[in-house]
Amino acid sequence: MAQKKVKSLPKADVEAIFGAFAASNPEPRGELDYVNPFTLLVAVVLSAQATDAGVNKATKTLFQLADTPEKMVALGAAGIEERIKTIGLFRTKARNVFALSQQLVERFGSEVPADREALESLPGVGRKTANVVLNIAFRQPTIAVDTHLFRVANRTGLAPGKTPLEVETGLLKVVPDQYLLHAHHWLILHGRYICKARKPECWRCIIAPWCRFEPKTPPPKGA
């Protein structure tokens, strides 16, 4: 995930960027389907190295059958595997979902904990997954750094960093408090649809005036 090193943006530019995001999309939403904190947790675990659309297709049936830890345990690892086999790494993910469901029942009274350390103690749950669950399910101002967000933070100069944790820490320092809750959604969606890996669409980017990325990509001919 190496990126060209750029200088960090001044405070006024950071505020302008998030002001533009907020004006354009006041209530951004993630693209994974879920019905409660438990199914959100499962969906995020399944989304590693997979597309949200692919996960949603698989979990539609899975969540109809098992929308609680108890039901997921009753389905069994083999039953989970059968229903998510269209997703990459499905065998490992099925084992993790089964195991984390067991632990939720045994250790947390079948409730998803609103605590980072507790979440990260569950099978298949790392810092990024915990941040997504804390942000969406419990409305905590966390920032989940995926490939898209990592790219945007480095390209723009919002929070240049060599590792996801470095970028996360940098963003937590510079993003104005009023924008922290939605910051990771804005940045992920921006990286997914505008600031693309191979060819960012700078000509239709709402934060281009403040972004450090150079040279800006021109519009396609005839556009």
Residues with a known catalytic role: 128, 146
136 phi and psi angles, rounded to 5 deg = -80, -50
Q: Give me the count of residues in the chain.
A: 223
CB distance 120 to 130 below 8 Å? yes
What is the spatial distance between Cα 81 and Cα 86, in angstroms, rounded to a whole number?
Answer: 9
Please state whether 49 falls in left (phi above 0), alpha (psi between -120 and 50) or beta: left
- Report whether 149 contacts 202 (CB < 8 A): no
Dist. CA 155–CA 9, nearest whole Å: 11
**Long-range contacts of 158-165, Cβ-Cβ distance < 8 Å, separation of 24 or more:** 158/8, 158/9, 158/14, 158/17, 158/187, 159/8, 160/3, 160/5, 160/6, 160/7, 160/8, 164/127, 164/128, 165/127
Phi-psi region of 115 (alpha: psi -120 to 50; beta: other; left: phi over 0): beta
